Structure 1
Amino acid sequence: MSDRRPASGPEERRLSTREAADLLGVKPETVYAYVSRGQLSSRRTEGGRGSTFDATEVETLARRNRRDGGGSSPVPGELSVRTRITLIEDNRFYLRGVDATELAARYSYEEIAEWLWTGELRRGVTFTAPPALAAAARRAVAALPPHAGPADRLRTAAIAAAAADPLRFDLSAQAVLGTARVLIPTLVAALSSGGHGQPDDGPLARRLWTALTARRPDDASVHAVDTALALLVDHDLAASTLAVRVAASARAHPYAAVSAGLGAMEGPLHGAASGLAHRLLLDVLQRGGAAPVIADELRAGRRIPGLGHRLYTAEDPRAHALFRLLEEVPGAAPALAAARDVVETTARHTALHANVDLALAVLTVSAEMPPTAGETLFAVARTAGWIAHVLEEYGERPLRMRPSGQYTGPRPPQEIPAATGVVGEGGRKSPSSNSG
């Protein structure tokens, strides 16, 4: 039977709840879950004893579920992607089955990154940018206006590095690993001028510290930066990671896939949260307490940054690990106290726990870094995870990240609309204009 309706005529085909469930291969209650998430529309039957569903919508959703692996998403209507990298379960966070907070306490960011990519955990791994690549990235970033943000600088550095690499289209595992090992330090190198006191070798965390603050580095603070990078290396399918996998599904080269992730991170709901938490803590420190600051935020209709996480019902384990480490960092006590004040003040009315953005803000405030430093740390750290997802996605069927659109516009055939408007200078005449 054809799905197409005539331009005028009887109402579209409707299915009962049982018919929709049978077509989708789910239980009737799951059909209503699809409705609640906006994947299907429903209409009450006469008498109000049930609902009917548009047959075309149901058939489109059924085709999408079959293509995405049988509708295996744990939440109806959400895209589900099989991965062996990260598991978040019972308020715990695992990388390839290993507790991520314990891993970050024992190994450096670079060691963990290498392990994510190869399955081999080797001590003493460091990433160094080739001088020519670092110089090319610095020149490109130097051309940006002063107000350019972290995502602008890092994305520009990634593009410059790609342009300088004629082998970027080699998608073999060894080539991608080679790219990863030079791309991450190149991103870090692009954040500094490369002058005195800003080396391009040594521990990556120390290089980042030098790029982000004028304060002299101490071992405890640099260790905190390294641990933060390790804790942020991956976190399931965040928006930026999904963007990376979509690009990799289309077989974009690793530099382009990372650029896609950086682009998604620039959204205010993903990458900017740590900067908002940084400014919040500065305000709390300046005003001597969290209560007036929280009151002003709520009065303005804003959410309190650094609190709550959709994947955890308790405190974000990454925040817990970083808070404990920051207790050993010289000068971090005031920012730590301010963060605890924020959590305790908001807890009077709602059960929100600290997330990693608040812990990251404690680190950046105590280190006298700019508000954007947390976003920079996040992006550099996550690049390793993105590469792990790139490697995983290259092993999947190409272009599998191609969902079906659920068309909700006017049903065809529609008449061709009449053109309107004025012909611009040098433009083409409107078909409706008088040619004389």
Structure 2
Amino acid sequence: MRDQEPVPGNTERRLSTKEAAELLGVKPETVYAYVSRGQLSSRRVPGGRGSTFDAGEVEVLARRNKRESGGSSSTGGELSVRTRLTLIDTDRYYFRGVDAAELAARYSYEEVAEWLWTGRLRPGLAFTAPRASVTAARRAVEALPEHTTPTDRLRVAAIAASAADPLRFDLSEEAVLGTARTLIPTLVAALPPVGRGHRDAGPMAHRLWTRLSGTPANEASLRVLDTALALLVDHDLAASTLAVRVAASARAHAYAAVSAGLGVIEGPLHGAASGLAHRLLLDVLDQGSAAPVIADELRAGRRIPGLGHRLYPGEDPRARALFGLLEEIPQAAPALAAARDIVATTARHTPLHANVDLALAVFTASSGMASTAGETIFTVARTAGWIAHALEEYGERPLRMRPSGHYVGPRPPQPLPG
């Protein structure tokens, strides 16, 4: 289990599934969902079919859940940041109070990004990258080794674009919005095209497609890509977004704040999760059934990617929106069937819904894209959200994102090491 503080005196005590569920105030199946998400560890009962759980881990998770639900006092609680951007509530989420899935269904990625930044819609909005910014970013990216990942390229492109902008230290809202509208197309333009006919103009989804797939795009596929970008613009205080706000709190300029997010998003529990789901999906398609693939994953002690989300007890609304569009694409049918097989097979042990990572995997696998394509889509999309959070943070007291450490080491004074 991650990010768990030890509970002295409880390391040997084990709880049954029923006892753990009662302590957590959840159903027994939810306990197994916590295991699948990596929030609890379990141990099989020798000679039996049930599982036991470390009492210390369960108690820590119970306290954490209580704090997150508002049951703690003002001291000792987890970090909470006031924001006007995104609300997640009961298997739906909202951008500035408007249903995000409905926004993504009706408006382009650029229009949704502008809504998040300013609270205004600008129909037909297109982002344009300055020639100097694109040239600097491309030169930096071209100097990287061949095996470099797309996220590496995006990180380097952001730094190069920053160096090409002498006005980057202007933190006024107008200047930061100008940076946002030029940085995103610069990042996309810096990615090497996969096939012929790459585009550096027009809707962002069209430009990005030529960096992800060598096959010609059709309108249905471009609609999925554009919708995915819009859906992924923001998702409250995800790990990368928190890093961006910390950087902005220290008054780092917008490029540096985005770079902080780029340094976090590559983790397998964040932006890279769709790549793991992509490879799992290909294995299922190759084997013809999810059962042996899921069995191998569980035998190796790995969590099943693409399933469950700690913020959505039910279905991830982003996945629901993308699956609905993917059903209209004939070439996505095999991957969709494989995804349903994964969900159904895993549900025999842990009833979890598909999340947006599995939906992205269906899209990338059925579009002839590399396993890293979902991470690229996620990163380009989320850059808009990072800028929105940086803008909010620039309006707050500087250096407020500075929690105090809770020292648990040896009490001083200690003798000098000999």
Unaligned runs of 5+ in 1: 1-35, 44-64, 419-436
Within 5 Å, give how 1:22-421 maps onto structure 2. 38=5, 77-192=77-192, 197-418=197-418
> Is the partner of 1:331 in helix, strand or coil?
helix
Q: Distance in 2 between matches of 1:330 and 1:134?
A: 36
- After superposition, the Cα gap between the structure-2 partners of 1:194 and 1:340, relative to the gap in structure 1 and judged at 3 Å, is closer
Percent identity (aligned): 75
Q: Distance in 1 between matches of 2:241 and 2:74?
A: 19
> Is the partner of 1:93 in helix, strand or coil?
strand
> Is the partner of 1:228 in helix, strand or coil?
helix
Q: Distance in 2 between matches of 1:175 and 1:388?
A: 13
Tell me which amino acid in the other structure corresponds to 1:152: D
The offset of 1:168, in angstroms, is: 0.3
The offset of 1:90, in angstroms, is: 1.0
The offset of 1:40, in angstroms, is: 8.8
Q: Distance in 2 between matches of 1:184 and 1:405?
A: 35
Aligned pair count reads 356
> Is the partner of 2:214 in helix, strand or coil?
coil
Return the TM-score normalized by structure 1: 0.79
Q: Which deviations, in whole Å up to 9, do the C-alpha atoms of 1:283-318 show, x marking residues without a partner?
A: 111111111111111111111100010001111010
> Is the partner of 2:159 in helix, strand or coil?
helix
- After superposition, the Cα gap between the structure-2 partners of 1:312 and 1:249, relative to the gap in structure 1 and judged at 3 Å, is same
Q: Which deviations, in whole Å up to 9, do the C-alpha atoms of 1:62-119 show, x marking residues without a partner?
A: xxx9xxxx9659xx63211111111111111111111111110000000010111111
Q: Distance in 1 between matches of 2:211 and 2:322?
A: 21
Q: Distance in 2 between matches of 1:155 and 1:133?
A: 14
Judge conservation of contact 1:220–1:330 (CA < 8 Å) in 2.
no
Q: Distance in 1 between matches of 2:351 and 2:88?
A: 20
Q: Which deviations, in whole Å up to 9, do the C-alpha atoms of 1:222-263 show, x marking residues without a partner?
A: 110000001100001010000000000000000000000010
Q: Distance in 2 between matches of 1:285 and 1:196?
A: 28
Judge conservation of contact 2:220–2:329 (CA < 8 Å) in 1.
yes
Q: Distance in 2 between matches of 1:276 and 1:40?
A: 33
Structure number with greater Rg is 1
The offset of 1:410, in angstroms, is: 1.8
Tell me which amino acid in the other structure corresponds to 2:106: R
Q: Distance in 1 between matches of 2:6 and 2:292?
A: 42
Q: Distance in 2 between matches of 1:367 and 1:199?
A: 18
Q: Distance in 2 between matches of 1:323 and 1:129?
A: 32
The offset of 1:196, in angstroms, is: 5.6
- After superposition, the Cα gap between the structure-2 partners of 1:72 and 1:99, relative to the gap in structure 1 and judged at 3 Å, is farther
In the alignment, which residue of structure 1 is the partner of 2:60?
none
Q: Distance in 2 between matches of 1:290 and 1:414?
A: 56
The offset of 1:193, in angstroms, is: 5.1
Judge conservation of contact 1:221–1:330 (CA < 8 Å) in 2.
no
Judge conservation of contact 1:39–1:77 (CA < 8 Å) in 2.
no
Return the TM-score normalized by structure 2: 0.82
Unaligned runs of 5+ in 2: 11-66
Tell me which amino acid in the other structure corresponds to 1:285: L
Q: Distance in 2 between matches of 1:133 and 1:123?
A: 25
Tell me which amino acid in the other structure corresponds to 1:403: P
Judge conservation of contact 1:86–1:235 (CA < 8 Å) in 2.
yes
Q: Which deviations, in whole Å up to 9, do the C-alpha atoms of 1:145-198 show, x marking residues without a partner?
A: 111112211000000000000000000000000000000000000112599611
